[in-house]
Amino acid sequence: MEKSKDNQTDNIISGVHNYCDRWCERCRFIKRCTVGLAELERMSEDKSDIEIWDEIATNLTNTIKLISEKAAELGIDLTNLDDIEIVKKSPNEIEKLAMDYGTAAHHWMNNIREKIDELTQKVIEQELAIPDFKEAFDVINWFEFFIGVKTRRAFQGYQSENEFEKNDSDGSAKIALIAIDNSIEAYLVLYHQFPEYEDDILGLLKQLSKLKKHLLTAFPDAISFIRPGFDE
């Protein structure tokens, strides 16, 4: 048993969890990541479905609480979903743009969730493959707040003279940009599937495009950052 643990430890990619999308169940490195291994162990525990979903709900509640506290620091009203023009490219304003997007996406996704679930259930009953729009919905849902969290982390070491902090900022900005690109692709799927939501989708795409532009300007070295495991 000890030998197995040693081999497992030797196989770990150091820092791989810092620059991933935290979607463990879809990650090819889940068994080479300390966070991934902990997630596998957690899921293998003898828990009822209710206990598992209660845990997920608690984690989500804590995440939203952290985002709300940060929003309050910046003087942001998360109930105001009006378009906001970014005049200056300051860290606070870019963080605000990311959080505004997350809140807007969350509200919109809640509005269409019932329709997506209903259509998906019909497809499942016909024993067909899971439709593209369900996958697109899941992608947007996964990244809606993730983008804001990683944007915030990127600015924690912004313009730092410490090499590690600077690299960490570039890595966080890169995964935020990847999440933005994945979300944009998902919205395009929904755009073609549900033309009745054209205005909503175009508005969300505009927010993501603006955020992407600001992140690329603030972190010009982010794209060239080499993420452990993923980009090696």
The tens digit of pLDDT for each residue in 16-55 reads 777 777 788 777 777 888 877 877 776 665 555 445 445 5
Token readout for 122 is 């019909």
The pLDDT of residue 108 is: 95
Token readout for 42 is 């957690």
Task: Give the Cα separation of 13 and 193 in Å (integer).
Answer: 39
Evaluate if residue 98 carries a pLDDT over 60.
Answer: yes
Percent of the chain with pLDDT over 70: 73
Q: Is 190 helix (H, G, I), strand (E, B) or coil?
A: helix
The secondary structure of residue 77, as a DSSP letter, is -
Name the strand (E) or helix (H) holding 54. helix 49-73
> Is residue 201 within 8 Å of residue 175, measured between CB atoms?
no
Burial class (CB in 10 A: 0-12, 13-18, 19+), 174: buried
pLDDT band of residue 216 (cuts 50, 70, 90) is very high
Token readout for 163 is 């090499």
